[in-house]
Amino acid sequence: MEGPGLDGSASVDASGDGGDGAADPRRAAQSREAKDAWVMSCLKIDDQFPDHPKVVEAGPLASWLHVCGMAYCARYLTDGFIPADQVSRLANLSSPHNLSAKLVRVGLWESVSDGFQIREWLSCYIVSGGLTQELRHTADYVRWRRAVLKRDKSTCQGCAATSQPLHVHHILPWPTHPLVRYVVRNGIILCVVCHKMIHYGRQSCPGGN
């Protein structure tokens, strides 16, 4: 095994032989498992972001809070939702609630029940370990989503709602369990409210996570 790479991850000899030429299938399998487990969500921001009229109007401090908010949503797969009690923890800034109010005023955030919603979240591009918008359109993901919707009869398994926007939630998280990403029993239908409650530990997932 070599030292850590520039991205902070460990570079592993793909042969699993430690460099002595004698391949060990067990070590190779362990290396592959370690690589699968070490994943990270990354937020890709347009290089014209600093010149966006809303960002300019928000100013540097509020804009930094916005960036930290997007990173938070990418890390925890919240679909752009930020709980009100998390705002002050996003960045070491004075008057974070005044800054969040400014983000609402310029149209980058929207004030919703129990927190804030980042506007146009679906246009943000989450890469690597996170569930990217691009991956939402792959054939495997679409088939998996349809199968879960059909099994759960397009009904939230938390509160039985059918009229609210419905999300297909991974019971074992997408970033850390790549082998069951498209396994139907690892999916469950939740309304947007129950989905948020589960991600923030305020409600247990009916499927066990």
Tokens of 31: 């290396």
More confident residue, 27 or 10: 27
Tell how far CA 166 is from the center of its chain.
17
Residue among 126, 193, 206 nearest 166 (CA): 193
Q: Report the DSSP beta bridge partners of residue 152.
A: none
Place 142 in a pLDDT band, splitting at 50, 70 and 90: confident
Lookup result for tokens 């499927």: 207
- Is a pLDDT exceeding 90 seen at residue 172? no
| Summary mean pLDDT of the chain | 75
Angle between helices 96-106 and 53-76 (to 10 degrees): 110
CB-based contacts of 163-168 (< 8 A; 24+ apart in sequence): 164/191, 164/192, 164/193, 165/191, 165/192, 166/190, 166/191, 166/192, 167/79, 167/191, 167/192, 167/195, 168/144
pLDDT > 70: percent of the chain = 67
Place 124 in a pLDDT band, splitting at 50, 70 and 90: low
pLDDT tens profile 19-68: 444 445 555 444 444 444 444 556 777 778 888 899 999 999 999 999 99
Place 15 in a pLDDT band, splitting at 50, 70 and 90: very low
Place 183 in a pLDDT band, splitting at 50, 70 and 90: very high
More confident residue, 148 or 18: 148
Place 3 in a pLDDT band, splitting at 50, 70 and 90: very low
Pick from 106-110, 139-143, 182-186: least confident: 139-143
- pLDDT for 201 equals 63
The enclosing H or E element of 121 equals none
